[in-house]
Structure 1
Amino acid sequence: MAPKAPQSPNYIVELSLLAALATLWGASYTFIKLGIETIPPVTLIAGRTILAGAVLLVILLARGIRMPRDRATWGRFTVQACLNSAIPFTLIAWAETSVDAGLAVILNSMTPVFTFLITALWVRHEATSHRKMAGVIIGLAGTTVIVGAQAFSHVGQELVGQLAVVGATICYAGAAIFGKGFKDLDPMVPAAGSLVSGAALLIPVSLIVDRPWTLEPSSSSLLGLVGLALFSTAAAFAIYFRLIRTLGSVGATAQAYLRAPIGVAIGAYFLGERLPPTAWIGLGCILVGVTLMTMPDRRPATLRAA
């Protein structure tokens, strides 16, 4: 009985952080929608990564933690940046020029499904089960309902935007698995390193493509950028890398089934979005699928191993 006492509050803390991460990332889709009104996607995401990375670097400096200086670690940060910020952030921001924020968050909630598929088919560090496979099938069916309805109606930018969000979701799945390699570092270090690396990749593209000095962003877009950088990126990434260390890759991505309804609710309240019936059917399938994949195994041995 004595060893179990300290584990209970830790478990509550981790679940609270998971809920906080879901809320921060759920809000990001609305922040992006506000930002892209007057700021092009690449420049918006370049600003997002540099601001968030700078905030985390200042916090690390105040804590007395130094960033690694070896080339190998920064190479890993760059890979993580491609998977977790530079590519997926830009894909989602571009997609939201034609896709509602609520629909984007629903499609993006497929992250645990793709994490499990990559794990089972490639990395293979987790055992598969009939329940988890059923979750994968149901989750994929939900995505097919959402994207398929658009595909059969007409092929246009909205369909391409939806597929871009799915591509970003696959990147996030790879990032969750690759991020496990940073367990030896303080969670804020890979968060800051990957964001700085992402900014280094995006800023030159922004300067060439968007010429940001010619832009005239609105106050709402600037507020969206600040909220996106400080809350949905700097704070969220610090929590995310901690959860990867404590809950594992699949466990950390489980916040997707909380993020979906939160993100849809935020988009509906602040942006007045109304989703089509197929989106709600798809959301239901995705939530059921992710729940089946992430619910704890009933076997005591498995629980102890976890």
Structure 2
Amino acid sequence: MTRVPVIRLNDGNAIPQIGFGVYKVDAGNAEKVVSEALEAGYRHFDTAALYGNEAEVGRALRASGIPREELFVTTKQWFDRQEPVEAERAIAESMEKLDLGYIDLYLLHWPAPKRDRYVGAWQALERFKLDGLTRSIGVSNFLVPHLERLARESATVPAVNQIELHPAYQQRDVVAYCRANGIAVEAWGPLGQGKYDLFGEEPVVAAAKAHGVTPAQVVLRWHLQLGNIPLPKSGNSSRMRENIDVLGFDLTLAELDAITALERGGRGGPHPDEQN
């Protein structure tokens, strides 16, 4: 099995540097997909209340027979549950559906700043961590102003910020803030989010040819060497294996720089200030 490197989070917990995302994996297929991902070597799984597949993800993980401590499971609170009482109900519902005893990483899915509730929701997550419901807490799709406000109004620095991130959209200001403040950066849509054909870009094609790997493996290796935690997703078992088999080569500094130069500045998903 591929031995995925781990990153030590600012709270002392360790997270596998490659995860498996289940966004848009329908509930009827999720158990099969997660089981195949486990066979491919994944031990880090990223779901969310919004995805509607927490129960199936949990069922597949329990059925695998893999010790709980060898798994890393993330789920997320949707922004309509940011009121304190709703936040408590939300994590209780996720825990019941996953049925894994605890959550490894619990995230605020979006800041939804127009609602002006994310600070209170974050303070609720701080309590959930103290209560042992989740081992680590973090955020998703938070921009620098949102992170700065959390720093002013709470006692805990997020362990993780999960953001849209790939060579064509690198969110360099957010990443720089996270690196400077000890926040690990997870990348959703790490292969281009369907908006960009990264696999046809000359630096990616050239690196793939030079190392005898696929363009997807080159892009994922770029993430790993920069310190990101990519969350590729696929319903194809051979693609699953390909996406985790990225540890047998290193991109040169010139190759990294050429891929980094693919920045285009265009967001594929919603803008965090408008997701309310």
| TM-score normalised by structure 1 residue count | 0.24
* Structure with the larger helix share: 1
Structure label with greater radius of gyration: 1
Q: Which is bigger in relative contact order (C-alpha 8 A, separation at least 6)?
A: 1
* Structure with the larger strand share: 2
